[in-house]
Amino acid sequence: MMLFALVASTSCKKSFIQLAPLDSPSPANFYQTEPEFREALATDYVTLRAIYNFDWTLSEERSDNTDYDYYPISIGGATVDHEYIHDFVDNSTNSYVADMYTDLYVGVARCNIIITNIALPAAAGIPAATRTEIRGEAEFLRALYYFKLVQYFGGVPLQIVPVTTANQAFIPRSSVAQVYAQITTDATAAIADLPVVTFTGGKQTGVATKGAATMLMADVDMTLLKYPEAETLLTSLATQGYSLLPTYAAVFNTANKNSVESIFEVQYMASATTGQSSDFLYIFLPRSSNTALITNGIASTSLSGGWNYPTQDLINAYTPGDPRLDASIGVAEGTYNSALDMTISAYKSIVNYTPAPGKVGRPFDKKVLNTESIVNMTDDDWPIYRYAGALLMLAEAQNEQGKSATALTSLNAVRARAFGNGTHAITATDQATLRTAIANERRVELAFENDRWHYLQRTGTAVAVMNAFGANLKTLPSHNYLLSTSYNVTPDRLIYAIPFAEIETNPQLTQNPGY
């Protein structure tokens, strides 16, 4: 008994047990130096990369820009879940939707830890300017993550501090307005905290900057129909060093990653060892046992393709002679076998394309076609914001305020770069006519960049456009697999279901209408 009493007495002293290990990183001793915070930020950018690995599934493929190769041979959950998103018959158990929800909250949680710890006394040894910049990057990323969450799911639980208890973890959904208020708070703070982009040899580092936060805030303002505020923000970008590259095709050459046109892009690096490479090209090509004719002699046998290919509806949106058509879309020509895999026999231009006798032409996203040396590992970054998109958004903001003549300046700057001269300038100043012209310009300029669906959402045109698109698809023999319920698009379908597993885990969550 005396021994027990002695141990009990001694164990109450703080010096007896150190709960935080001194010889390895822990929350108690990690967030103290700049390298430690930079490492934490790096994990947040890794999360961003994980999200954009498949963000096109929930955005671009939800739109009228792209389609998929129907593959009835595979009825696995991943294939079906993917197809159902495109066809508007997804539900609360969809794995891609669940992964997006989870990954976005992983990113939020990492931002919360950084923002909270950078303000603690343990970080006081870091120079004030550095602390401000680190905080700004995390604020930008948290705003971006919540922007994606509210776009995809509507009102969601707002977590803005690290979760340490069950009560903090299991909270109800905030309203859409509350989520946007937090996004605005974070993006505004990030604009103040982040430095203006710097270019070294025409390149930037790829981390968040004042320009990235400015563009994000403008995107949010456009979504909230705050056109004057958006115009002010977008106009300010011209003073921050951004400009258009000389040619449209140059934008997507990996030699020009993080260029003067890039406002923010997700960073990838072709590598067999780091896990930082992209593989979009192989996913967007048709399923094939040998892609070497298109993939620079590097033969892929993974059969991972068949997704996100350009629709005829998109191809028809390009005006005759628009160089962006050939720069954006290529054609894999060949034949399909009984397993619905293509034997590629030629790589051709989409311009005036007619299939060779006995061949099938399958268009694909050419923006991700660059030289690579490692199979299934490419170097293509994913653009989130480009200066061309900012100019088109500025034209839209001005036109919506009745400043149609002013809007033509930004709109025609984009067109002049695309066509290489001023002969294709748009001159219409009627607001409705110009609204249509800007919408089409945005569609062809930003094709395959995950912009189209969110544009249809925020402009209130998604229901009409996607119902018309779906009705046309159902008339095509090539799409006779579509369910009767496919493309019955209602306002409920403008956002996704809250994942079933989340509702089962957190009884305070409610489901979105229609699911």
- Region of residue 499 (left: phi > 0; alpha: psi -120 to 50; beta: else): beta
Q: Is residue 47 part of a domain?
A: no
The pLDDT assigned to 17 comes to 43
494, 501 contact by CB (below 8 A) = no
Q: Is residue 367 part of a domain?
A: yes
Tell whether 251 and 398 lie within a shared domain.
yes
Q: Which two tokens stand for residue 70?
A: 């129907």
How is the chain split among helix, strand and coil, in percent rounded to 5? Answer: 50, 10, 45
Tell whether 285 and 358 lie within a shared domain.
yes
Q: What is the CATH number of the domain that holds 412?
A: 1.25.40.390
Tell whether 294 and 341 lie within a shared domain.
yes
Beta bridge partners of 362: 332
> CA-based Rg of the chain, rounded to a whole angstrom?
25
Last residue of a domain, one of 317, 345, 380: 380
Q: Is the dihedral of CA 247, 251, 254, 259 positive or negative?
A: positive
Domain count, the chain: 2
Q: Is the dihedral of CA 344, 346, 347, 351 positive or negative?
A: negative
The pLDDT assigned to 74 comes to 80
Q: Is residue 470 part of a domain?
A: no
Q: Which residue has the tokens 């930004």?
A: 410
170, 506 contact by CB (below 8 A) = yes
Tell whether 392 and 260 lie within a shared domain.
yes
Tell whether 313 and 371 lie within a shared domain.
yes
Query: pTM of whole model > 0.85?
Result: yes
The pLDDT assigned to 274 comes to 84
Last residue of a domain, one of 346, 380, 414: 380
The pLDDT assigned to 20 comes to 46
Residue 132 to residue 124: CA distance in whole angstroms: 12
* Amino acid in position 124: A
Tell whether 398 and 318 lie within a shared domain.
no
Least Cα distance to 367 among 451, 303, 439 occurs for: 451
58, 496 contact by CB (below 8 A) = yes
Q: Which two tokens stand for residue 1?
A: 């008994």
Q: Is residue 22 part of a domain?
A: no
Tell whether 371 and 291 lie within a shared domain.
yes
Other C-beta atoms lying within 10 Å of the C-beta of residue 29? 14
Range of the domain at 455: 195-199+209-267+385-459
* Amino acid in position 303: L
Residue 440 to residue 230: CA distance in whole angstroms: 20
Q: Which two tokens stand for residue 430?
A: 């009627």
State how far Cα 470 lies from the chain centre: 24
Tell whether 368 and 427 lie within a shared domain.
no
Last residue of a domain, one of 337, 365, 380: 380
Other C-beta atoms lying within 10 Å of the C-beta of residue 88? 18
Tell whether 253 and 400 lie within a shared domain.
yes
Tell whether 288 and 373 lie within a shared domain.
yes
Per-residue pLDDT in tens (0 to 9) along the chain, 515 residues: 333 333 333 334 344 444 445 444 555 678 999 999 999 999 999 999 999 999 999 999 999 999 999 999 887 888 999 999 999 999 999 999 999 999 999 999 999 999 999 999 999 999 999 999 999 999 999 999 999 999 999 999 999 999 998 888 899 999 999 999 999 999 999 999 999 999 999 999 999 999 999 999 999 999 999 999 999 999 999 999 999 999 999 999 999 999 999 999 999 998 878 889 999 999 999 999 899 999 988 877 667 899 999 999 999 999 999 999 999 999 999 999 999 999 999 999 999 999 999 999 999 999 999 988 888 899 999 999 999 999 999 999 999 999 999 999 999 999 999 998 778 999 999 999 999 999 999 999 999 999 999 999 999 999 999 999 999 999 999 999 999 999 999 999 999 999 999 999 999 999 999 99
The pLDDT assigned to 106 comes to 98
Residue 421 to residue 438: CA distance in whole angstroms: 18
In a 3-state reduction of DSSP, which class is residue 179? helix
Least Cα distance to 226 among 261, 194, 190, 181 occurs for: 181
- Give the orientation angle of helix 227-236 with respect to helix 387-400, to 10 degrees: 150
Q: Which two tokens stand for residue 400?
A: 């919506």
* Amino acid in position 153: F
334, 345 contact by CB (below 8 A) = yes
Q: Is residue 122 part of a domain?
A: no
The pLDDT assigned to 26 comes to 56
The pLDDT assigned to 331 comes to 98
Q: Is residue 431 part of a domain?
A: yes
Tell whether 285 and 372 lie within a shared domain.
yes
Q: Is residue 218 part of a domain?
A: yes
Kindly give, in sequence order, each residue whose CB lies less than 8 Å from that of residue 210, ignoring residues fewer than 6 positions away. Answer: 190, 191, 194, 195, 196, 197, 240
Tell whether 314 and 231 lie within a shared domain.
no
The pLDDT assigned to 1 comes to 37
Please give the sequence-ordered ranges of beta strands (E in DSSP) within 232-352, or none if there are none.
Answer: 262-266, 309-310, 329-336, 342-349
Q: Is residue 229 part of a domain?
A: yes
Kindly give, in sequence order, each residue whose CB lies less than 8 Å from that of residue 492, ignoring residues fewer than 6 positions away. Answer: 512, 513, 514, 515
The one-character DSSP state at 237 is G
Residue 343 to residue 332: CA distance in whole angstroms: 9
Residue 134 to residue 136: CA distance in whole angstroms: 5
* Amino acid in position 228: P
